[in-house]
């Protein structure tokens, strides 16, 4: 094992210890109170987690995505919301690193590596979720600036974030529509940018999910991601590959947490004179849960490895996200069944996992969208000549 591999393995172990010592003892209370984990975020900053995939030349750790998904899984094992705060930031940084100009990388990545100024992604709108091409936000060129007008929904880090990647229409007449879209880097404090509201969610508590309103927000042309208009849709889809791999890792982490709780409870809860873990019905559940978690983990790491090689990975990312999110929903339900009546109470964490799991089914594209992406890629791959 080379020195770099050892360093990355040690980083994963450090985050695992951090989750055990710092996150697990407080996650339940923070989640129940729907409180932003300011102290935990501060500690993650000093650990360098917000700089995980940012290249070393810009002050980051320079981790590959295979290492990053392991970090995300560990954080999600402790509290899924914590990984959401990190991921949206990492996703925006990855977009800047991959598609930004040299000036944009030098201007934004070092401050993002410090973790104090965190990123947020602005894609979805009231009438444009899975159908990204239906966005109505506009960006109109005026001299050396653009004026942005519109509203974005479901923005993670919308309140506490500082640098937003915003998808807007720069050419309303373009056909197909995606060729008329561009991404702009908009900083908090820009006149006309405001938070409209935050959403009270079923799960995914403690992390701000907000509506951002853009009213004649003037952005310099230098903040157009990349060097020309019309690249935004492609840039967003490449970013969502990272997001989907991340959601797959989150789902794996939540499922692992549910399994850990279930197998521990099964050895402590007695029925008919013996631990329920000795009943064959429970053993079958545990075996299936563990196997599916491992399968999701391997799918996620395969997608991350392909992304690291610079190869197109939308098929693998879609498969990982689709399988892991559906698996997570099933595993947490089985964990709740193993806990019996106690699993339905807020006294046990399995109730939280059950509320968090549906987020992975819809976040970064629904399971139905993933299925379409997978099918289209497979039909292209196996096309009859």
Domain endpoint, select from 118, 149, 174: 118
Q: How far apart, in Å, are the Cα atoms of 303 and each of 56, 235, 315, 363? A: 23, 18, 8, 17
pTM (predicted TM-score): 0.94
150 and 201 belong to one structural domain: yes
169 and 255 belong to one structural domain: no
Provide the pLDDT for residue 47. 95
Provide the pLDDT for residue 4. 67
CATH of the domain at 55: 1.10.540.10
CATH of the domain at 289: 1.20.140.10
Domain endpoint, select from 118, 146, 171: 118
192 exposure class (CB count in 10 Å sphere: 0-12, 13-18, 19+): middle
153 and 214 belong to one structural domain: yes
**Separation CA 343–CA 89 (nearest Å):** 33
Q: Could you report how far apart the first and last alpha carbons of the chain are, in Å?
A: 44
Q: Give kind and range of the element (H or E) at residue 181.
A: strand 181-187
Known catalytic residues? 364
- Domain limits for position 107: 3-118
50 and 86 belong to one structural domain: yes
271 and 364 belong to one structural domain: yes
For the stretch 27-35, contacts whose Cβ atoms lie closer than 8 Å and that sit 24 or more positions apart, written own/partner, are 27/78, 27/79, 27/82, 27/349, 27/352, 28/349, 28/352, 30/79, 30/205, 30/206, 31/79, 31/81, 31/205, 31/206, 31/352, 32/205, 32/346, 33/206, 34/200, 34/205, 34/206, 35/206
CATH of the domain at 174: 2.40.110.10
- Kindly report the backbone phi and psi dihedral angles of residue 163, in degrees, each rounded to the nearest multiple of 5, phi listed first: -130, 115
Provide the pLDDT for residue 2. 66
30 and 169 belong to one structural domain: no
10 and 94 belong to one structural domain: yes
Please give the average pLDDT of every successive group of 10 residues along the chain, which has 385 residues.
79 97 97 96 96 96 96 98 95 96 97 95 90 92 97 95 97 93 97 95 95 98 95 92 94 98 97 95 98 98 95 92 98 97 94 97 90 93 90
357 and 239 belong to one structural domain: yes
Domain endpoint, select from 118, 138, 170: 118
Provide the pLDDT for residue 133. 86
249 and 358 belong to one structural domain: yes
36 and 107 belong to one structural domain: yes
Q: Give kind and range of the element (H or E) at residue 110.
A: helix 102-114
170 and 262 belong to one structural domain: no
91 and 169 belong to one structural domain: no
Provide the pLDDT for residue 364. 87
Provide the pLDDT for residue 131. 84
Provide the pLDDT for residue 129. 79
Q: How many domains does the chain have?
A: 3
């Amino acid at each position: 094992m080379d020195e770099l591999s050892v360093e990355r393995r040690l980083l994963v172990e450090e985050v695992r210890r951090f989750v055990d010592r710092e996150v697990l003892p407080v996650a339940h209370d923070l989640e129940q109170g729907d409180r932003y984990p300011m102290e935990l975020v501060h500690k993650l900053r000093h650990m360098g987690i917000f700089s995980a995939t940012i290249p070393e030349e810009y002050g980051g750790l320079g981790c590959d995505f295979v290492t990053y998904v392991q970090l995300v899984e560990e954080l999600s094992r402790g509290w899924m919301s914590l990984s959401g705060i990190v991921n949206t930031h990492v996703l925006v940084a990855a977009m800047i690193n991959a598609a930004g100009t040299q000036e944009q990388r030098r201007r934004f990545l070092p401050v993002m590596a410090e973790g104090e100024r965190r990123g947020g992604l602005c894609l979805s709108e009231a009438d444009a979720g899975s159908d990204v091409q239906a966005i109505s936000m506009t960006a109109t060129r005026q001299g050396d600036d653009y004026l942005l007008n519109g509203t974005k929904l479901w923005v993670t880090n919308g309140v506490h974030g500082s640098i937003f990647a915003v998808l807007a229409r720069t050419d309303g007449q373009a056909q197909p529509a995606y060729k008329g879209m561009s991404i702009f880097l908009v900083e908090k404090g820009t006149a006309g940018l405001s938070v409209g509201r935050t959403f009270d969610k079923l799960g995914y508590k403690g992390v701000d999910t907000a509506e951002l309103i853009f009213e004649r927000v003037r952005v310099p042309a230098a903040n157009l991601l990349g060097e020309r208009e019309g690249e935004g849709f492609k840039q967003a889809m490449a970013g969502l590959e990272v997001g989907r791999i991340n959601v797959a890792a989150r789902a794996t982490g939540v499922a692992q947490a549910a399994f850990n709780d279930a197998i521990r409870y099964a050895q402590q809860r007695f029925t008919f004179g013996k631990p329920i873990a000795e009943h064959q019905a429970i053993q079958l559940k545990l075996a299936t849960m563990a196997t599916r978690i491992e399968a999701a983990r391997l799918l996620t790491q395969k997608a991350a490895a392909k992304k690291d090689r610079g190869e197109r990975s939308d098929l693998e990312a879609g498969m990982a996200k689709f399988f892991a999110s559906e698996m997570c929903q099933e595993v947490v339900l089985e964990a709740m069944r193993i806990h019996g009546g106690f699993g339905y109470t807020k006294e046990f964490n399995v109730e939280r996992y059950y509320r968090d799991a549906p987020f992975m089914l819809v976040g970064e594209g629904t399971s139905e969208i993933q299925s379409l992406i997978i099918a289209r890629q497979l039909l292209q791959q196996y096309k009859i000549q």
